[in-house]
Structure formats: structure tokens, C-alpha cells
Chains A and B, each alone.
Chain A
């Protein structure tokens, strides 16, 4: 069975602090894809990144960076110099051949001014 665990339910940080959101996954598939989505209060899911199981290179996009480690089945997300606009719920998701997305329970990030 596939599973995604986001152990951090809620995180509060002060603006300009760095914050890391954890994601641990379980799957027996050798080919799979991991995603991070942002869900602001309005509800829509904003795609942030996709990473396939064969690409363990870390990625940086502006203030966002992702650390994919197959050895620990983790796909962590770091926001550098957080801003109030980063406040949202962040979901980690996993999919493989069926394209069904398995979502974690989400981490609510509050960035305080």
C-alpha cells in the first residue's frame, strides 16, 4: 500500500525565517512520482514541483528547495526567508502507475509578520 506522512500538522514561523516541511512516503513501486502542492485559503491546489523516483537531484526554485532522499523515503520542502504570502497548507503527494494521487494530511504553515 502507498502512504504519505506529513508529521507536522502546523508550523508557525516569523517572517524571514527558514522553514522545512517534512514528507515521508511508502511505496513498493520502483517508478513513482512525488509532488508538493500549496493550498491557500481560497482552496485551489497550486502545483509546486514534481520529482520522479529516478531523479534524486535536489532542486531549487527561488526561495523554494526540495531534498529528495530515497534512502530515507523522504521528500522535504524548505522555504528560505519565509514571507507572509507563504502562509498556506502544503500537501505532499505520491503517485505511480495508476495516477491516483495519495496525499499526505498536509502541513499548515503560518508565517507571522
Chain B
């Protein structure tokens, strides 16, 4: 299957700082990338959808100014959590879809964010 890689896998940051998480499609061009958030023992909640070269579409209730998503190229999308608070601590996971992958999307390994 296709490979999607996330970095960093774990990050700890101080309250008030910003942290960036990268999502890369390693062996295909990702026309669309999705960012999900997962609270402990909960399901995955879609945060936003990003198409290469255009602004991300955020789900209802997700703060656009807090969770900045950039999809600058066909292989890279970034999620920046700005002015992080402890309640932003969560597991963030991206997924990507390519032109030739039909209706299957592939997930990255996820990133554990802890805000202290």
C-alpha cells in the first residue's frame, strides 16, 4: 500500500508556543490530505480537509486560526497548532489520497502532542 509519514511522532511543547506537524506522502502524489484528532479512548474526529494549492476546509467547531493547515505541495501538508494550550494535547493523525488510489486513503503514523 501507499506510505504516509508523519513527523514528529511525539512532541512536548510549552503552553503558548506553536508546534508544527508534518504529513508526507512518500510514494504517491497526495491531491487531498485530511487531518484528524483523537482524544484518549475516543474515535477520530475530522478537523479539516486540504487540497493541494488551495485553502483547507475546516469542520464545524474547529478553529481555523488555531489549527493552521498548509498543503504546499503534492507530497506535504503541515498542521501548526498555534498558541498551544494543555487542552490541545491529543493524538493527531493525517491521511492522504492520491489520484490513482481510488477511494482508499492511507494514514500516517500519528503524532502525540503534549502541551505542558
Contacts and interface: CB of A to CB of B under 8 A. Distances in A.
Interface of A: 33, 35, 37, 42-45, 47, 50, 52, 91, 95, 98-101, 103-106, 108
Given A91-B43, A105-B43, A47 B1 contact: yes
A99 B108 CA distance: 16
B49 A100 contact: yes
A108 B41 CA distance: 9
Interface string B61-99: 000000000000000000000000000000101010100
Secondary structure class of chain B's binding surface, majority of residues: strand
Contact of B43 (A43, A98, A103): A103
27 contacts: A33-B104, A37-B107, A42-B109, A43-B91, A43-B93, A43-B112, A44-B107, A44-B108, A45-B44, A45-B93, A45-B107, A47-B104, A47-B106, A47-B107, A50-B104, A52-B103, A91-B43, A91-B44, A95-B105, A99-B34, A101-B34, A103-B43, A104-B43, A105-B42, A106-B42, A106-B43, A108-B41
Question: Which residue, of B32, B103, B106, has the highest number of chain A Cβ atoms within 10 A?
Answer: B103
B102 to A, nearest CB: 9
Interface of B: 1, 32, 34, 41-44, 46, 49, 91, 93, 95, 97, 103-110, 112
Nearest to B95: A101
Contacts, number: 52
A103 B103 contact: no
Nearest to B38: A43
Nearest to A100: B46
Contacts of B1: 47
A52 B95 CA distance: 19
A16 B112 CA distance: 33
Contacts of A44: 93, 107-110
A33 B104 CA distance: 9
Question: Which residue, of A52, A106, A108, has the highest number of chain B Cβ atoms within 10 A?
Answer: A106
